[in-house]
Amino acid sequence: MSARRVNADELSRDKIIRKARFLFEEKGYRAVSMRSIAAELGCSHGALYYHFKNKEQLFYGMIEEDFAQLNQIIDTVMASEEHRAQKLRTLFLRFIEYGLNNQNQYEFMFLMKGEGVDGLMQSPANESYEKFAQAVFKLMDRPPAIYLIWSAFLSLHGFVSHFLGYAQSYSEAEAAAENHVTFVLRGLGNEGSC
């Protein structure tokens, strides 16, 4: 009612994002309206536009913090004690795992084009792919053609993007993922890993 709340009741990027994450994870980007977020927070939807320029920026602000994750996953795999061939396999599996356990983020990173979010996600996605490609490059027995890495990535991407929405989490698709990764490794032609 009153135009400004007392300190303790004030909003903050953090409060908003926490609630938004909950809702987005439950219902997906499109099914969550700015008004519904505001309602859950007990404020007017106008207030959200003080903290975030628009819905996309709010969503972006929310997954921004998770962006580093994929890169970190790659780093972790690279730093592990496994053999190179095994590392490669693990890398692929972890990629799928990441995609299916962070479906919102994945969708925005690699799947959403033509909704206005376009440009935003592009650079983090490219960054992540670059890191992925370099990791694969290092883990192969012989330096592979770049298009081979690209194909491997697209194949994993196909797997993830199909299971988005069908599988609730990675665990439900684990067996299939294992098979698919074997397939991709053979496609790469890395002798040691098949």
Would you count residue 142 as binding its own copies (CB under 8 A)? Answer: no
Least distance between DNA and beta carbon 150 (Å)? 33
Q: Does 147 bind its own copies (CB under 8 A)?
A: yes
Chosen from DNA, its own copies, none, partner binding at 69 (C-beta under 5 to 8 Å by type)? none
Q: Does 176 bind its own copies (CB under 8 A)?
A: yes
Question: How far is Cα 37 from Cα 194, in angstroms, rounded to an integer?
Answer: 49
Structure tokens at 176: 């299939």
Task: Give the number of other Cβ atoms within 10 Å of residue 36's Cβ.
Answer: 15
Tokens of residue 52, six digits: 């975030």
| Lookup: tokens for 162 | 């199909």
Tokens of 83: 């053999």
Which one of 23, 47, 111, 120 is in contact with its own copies (CB under 8 A)? Answer: 111
Smallest gap from Cβ 1 to its own copies, in A, equals 37
Total residues in contact with its own copies, by rule CB under 8 A? 33
Of the pair 9, 81, the CB lying nearest DNA is at 9
| 3-state SS record for 110-168 | HHCCCCCCHHHHHHHHHHHHHHHHHHHHHHCCCCCCHHHHHHHHHHHHHHHHHHECCEC
Which of 185, 71, 58 minimizes the C-alpha distance to 126?
71
Q: Which of 4-12, 71-79, 81-89, 155-163 is the region at the interface with its own copies (rule: CB under 8 A)?
A: 155-163
Backbone angles phi, psi at 140, to 5 degrees: -80, 150
Query: How many other β-carbons are positioned within 10 Å of the β-carbon of residue 34?
Result: 17
Q: Hey, which residues between 35 and 94 contact its own copies (CB under 8 A)?
A: none
User: Which of 69, 71, 86, 151 is close enough to bind its own copies by CB under 8 A?
Assistant: 151
Q: How far is it, in rounded angstroms, from Cα 157 to Cα 160? A: 5
Contact residues toward DNA (CB under 7 A) are: 1-7, 9-11, 32-36, 42-47, 49-51, 53-56
186 binds, among DNA, its own copies, none (CB under 5 to 8 A by kind): its own copies
Nearer to DNA, 97 or 107 (CB): 107
Write out the residues near its own copies by the rule CB under 8 A.
28, 30-31, 110-111, 113-115, 147-148, 150-152, 154-159, 161-162, 164-166, 176, 179-180, 183-184, 186-189
